[in-house]
Amino acid sequence: MDHESFMLEALAEAAAAGASGEVPVGAVVVHEGEVIARGSNRREMDADPLAHAEVIALRKAAKALQRWRLHGCTLYVTLEPCPMCSGAAVLSRLDALVYGAADPKAGAAGSIYDIPRDRRLNHRMEVLSGVLGEDCSKLLSSFFKERRAGS
């Protein structure tokens, strides 16, 4: 599987979110080597605290496959998922999670918590971190630097 090309797809989603004023986080869900769903942060646009890129992509993937169990799928996301999104990944029964930049303040896939690999839960998945991590980090850093300069 070409992790970098799928992460580039997630980065494109993140860039689009950033261009619309959202925190630039993007996600794609891959099934059988094809992107079946995309998502980017929409919390501001939708006035929805749950409108994280991962949740949006997982909902679209479930709709595309017409099932909530996303066995055979991998979630690619530019930023390490928060506890909510890591929990959603587990509840979706994904095979794997691949993320770019670590989130030392809120990350729940290895940084603060490790929800996707927690043996106490009924489902665990493979986690791969740091795929195009520098590119993902730069996108986020640039966004917040511009935001601070503008305030």
Report the alpha-carbon distance of residue 5 to residue 95 in Å, rounded. Answer: 18
**Catalytic positions:** 54
Judged by DSSP in three states, 68 sits in coil
Q: Which among 49, 35, 130, 59 has a CA at the least distance from the CA of 82?
A: 49
Judged by DSSP in three states, 106 sits in coil
C-alpha dist (Å) from residue 2 to 57, 65, 106: 19, 22, 27
Report the alpha-carbon distance of residue 106 to residue 120 in Å, rounded. Answer: 20
